[in-house]
């Protein structure tokens, strides 16, 4: 495993396992399998409703806590100083751990400033080793870096894949000392990602799959990446990306696939902000 040094000196695995959309009942087994395969970075969120099951796996896996790197994210409904603080303490309980390695603000809406101040205080109290944000586009990231309080976010987790490469966004993050982390590296298979002819052709040269080419491309760009699979053989495939290196020409070929457009949604579109507002309402009863 390769590690990335964050802006506060904390080392984070460059490749991790994400548990978004893994049903509660399957989460513990999936995380145990992923840890067995070799993943040490596990990425969950309050709004995935499976933190407790991730916690069960952390407790039972047999790998020392110090070797694991656990990320969770604070949901919009828990923004504001007091609610954020309380919610992270609940996440700690659910994750059955004394500290969380990285806590991110999940979305750039509502009172994220109040929530960020709570994360800063929890960081200073030693309950969190690093704090960051997610889905913060360059303008919002500049806002929190320049007008935020004390701690520059260590990480900004954004959708990053060959069709939405985030090259400029990465440059902007690096300017502020924020590390980019990719979600949906495969775009959840949208836009024919796994059948992409260019990625397939490149994979054939190295005897690697499309998924492996994508992960390798991100890792070579220095992008931390979390990917999800409920299948052990895919977990293994996605982990087997440290024994080859893409040439500069192949890196460039993949860069040319970039349409700089989300495969999901644009957080700056007012209709999507309304959609998030609706989602907050729908998820409220499931948050405890």
Ligand X SMILES: NC(=O)c1ccc[n+]([C@@H]2O[C@H](COP(=O)([O-])OP(=O)(O)OC[C@H]3O[C@@H](n4cnc5c(N)ncnc54)[C@H](OP(=O)(O)O)[C@@H]3O)[C@@H](O)[C@H]2O)c1
Q: Minimum distance from CB of 207 to ligand X (Å)?
A: 15
Q: Which of 109, 194, 206, 242 binds ligand X (CB under 6 A)?
A: 194
Q: Catalytic: 48?
A: yes
Should residue 19 be labelled a site residue for ligand X when binding is judged by CB under 6 A? yes
- Under the criterion CB under 6 A, does residue 108 sit at the interface with ligand X? no
The one catalytic residue among 3, 39, 48, 116: 48
How is 140-206 classified by DSSP, letter by letter?
Answer: HHHHHHHHS-S---SEEEEE-BTTB--HHHHHHHHHHTPEEEEE-TTGGGGGGGGG-HHHHHHHHHH
C-alpha 261/C-alpha 251 separation (Å) is 19
Structure tokens at 242: 């440290």
Question: CA 141, CA 221: separation in Å to the nearest integer?
Answer: 20
Query: What whole-number distance in Å separates Cα of residue 13 and Cα of residue 2?
Result: 6
236 binds ligand X (CB under 6 A): no
Q: Which is nearer to ligand X, 211 or 280 (CB)?
A: 211
Helix axis angle, 232-239 to 24-37, nearest 10°: 40
Task: Give CA–CA dist 138/228, Å, rounded.
Answer: 26
Q: Which stretch binds ligand X (CB under 6 A): 144-152, 165-173, 183-191, 279-287?
A: 183-191
Residue 75 in contact with ligand X, rule: CB under 6 A: no
For residue 239, state whether it binds ligand X (rule: CB under 6 A): no
Q: Kindly indicate which of the ranges 138-146, 166-174, 234-242, 273-281 contains the residues binding ligand X, using the contact rule CB under 6 A.
A: 234-242
Query: Which stretches of the chain bind ligand X, using CB under 6 A?
Result: 18-20, 43, 106, 134-135, 157, 183-189, 194, 209, 211, 226-231, 234, 237-238
């Amino acid at each position: 495993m390769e590690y990335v040094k964050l802006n506060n000196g904390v080392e984070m695995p460059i490749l991790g396992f994400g548990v978004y959309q893994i049903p509660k009942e399957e989460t513990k087994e999936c995380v145990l399998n992923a840890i067995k395969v070799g993943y040490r970075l596990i990425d969950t969120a309050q709004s995935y409703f499976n933190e407790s099951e991730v916690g069960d796996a952390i407790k039972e896996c047999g790998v020392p806590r110090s070797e694991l790197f656990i990320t969770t994210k604070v949901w919009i409904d828990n923004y504001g100083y007091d609610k954020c603080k309380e919610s992270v303490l609940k996440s700690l309980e659910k994750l059955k751990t004394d500290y969380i390695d990285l806590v991110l603000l999940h979305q750039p809406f509502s009172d994220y400033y109040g929530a960020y101040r709570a994360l800063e205080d929890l960081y200073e109290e030693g309950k969190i080793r690093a704090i960051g944000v997610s889905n913060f586009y360059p303008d919002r990231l500049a806002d929190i870096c320049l007008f935020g309080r004390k701690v520059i976010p260590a990480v900004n987790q954004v959708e990053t894949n060959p069709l939405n490469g985030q090259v400029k966004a990465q440059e902007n993050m690096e300017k502020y000392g924020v590390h980019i982390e990719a979600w949906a590296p495969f775009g959840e298979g949208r836009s024919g990602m796994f059948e992409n002819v260019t990625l397939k052709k490149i994979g054939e040269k190295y005897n690697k799959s499309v998924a492996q080419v994508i992960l390798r491309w991100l890792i070579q760009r220095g992008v931390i990446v979390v990917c999800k699979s409920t299948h052990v053989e895919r977990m293994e495939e996605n982990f087997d990306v440290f024994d080859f290196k893409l040439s500069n020409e192949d890196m460039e070929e993949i860069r040319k696939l970039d349409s700089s457009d989300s495969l999901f949604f644009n957080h700056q579109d007012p209709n999507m902000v309304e959609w998030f507002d609706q989602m907050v309402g729908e998820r409220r009863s499931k948050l405890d």
